[in-house]
Amino acid sequence: MDCIFCKIIQGEIPSYTIYEDDSVKAFLDIQPLTNGHTLIIPKQHFENLYDMDMEILKHIELASQKIGKLLKEKLNCQGITRLQNNEYGQEVKHYHMHLIPRYENELFELKTDKNKITETQEIFDKIVK
Ligand code: 5GP
Ligand code: ZN
């Protein structure tokens, strides 16, 4: 399969791997948003959240806790932001969770189009009715 992250798992593309076990691998992002920006991926190919195996999802969650603690301890970051894109906004179509260490007074922005934001009541009705 022509998937960059499968190639990283197979060792065909090198990576700075900081954690690995039977089902997941975590390595440093090639274009870090902050120092220590890490990606956690399942060793099995899943495209995104919608097709992820439940047990592996749990495993990724547990690994993110371990790796989060590791980054906090080793890099002295003041926080960690987790991000995970699906379909639109997802560059690599192999499930991955971003762990982004946060440092006090360092820029990190999620921008929004304020004029596109609808009344919360309207959105709520669309979702639950
Ligand atoms: P997405 O936008 O899909 O959520 O994020 C994909 C991430 O993968 C980006 O942050 C990008 O820098 C990272 N990335 C893409 N190709 C490679 C690669 O070959 N090696 C590593 N380490 N990271 C990659
Ligand atoms: Zn893959």
Residue from 6, 20, 29 whose mutation best tests the ligand 1 pocket (most atoms within 8 A of CB)? 29
* Residue range 5-21: mean pLDDT, rounded: 97
96 assigned to active site: yes
CATH class for the domain made up of 4-128: alpha beta
Write a three-state SS string for the chain.
Answer: CCCHHHHHHHCCCCCCEEEECCCEEEEECCCCCCCCCEEEEECCCCCCHHHCCHHHHHHHHHHHHHHHHHHHHHHCCCEEEEECCCCCCCCCCCCCEEEEEECCCCCCCCCCCHHHCCCHHHHHHHHHC
Domain boundaries, the chain: 4-128
> In the predicted model, what is the mean pLDDT of residues 107-123?
94
Pocket lined around ligand 1, Cβ cut-off 6 Å: 4, 13, 15, 27, 29-31, 39, 85, 90-92
- pTM (2 decimals)? 0.96
- pLDDT one-digit tens code per residue, 60-109: 999 999 999 999 999 999 999 999 999 999 999 999 999 999 999 999 98
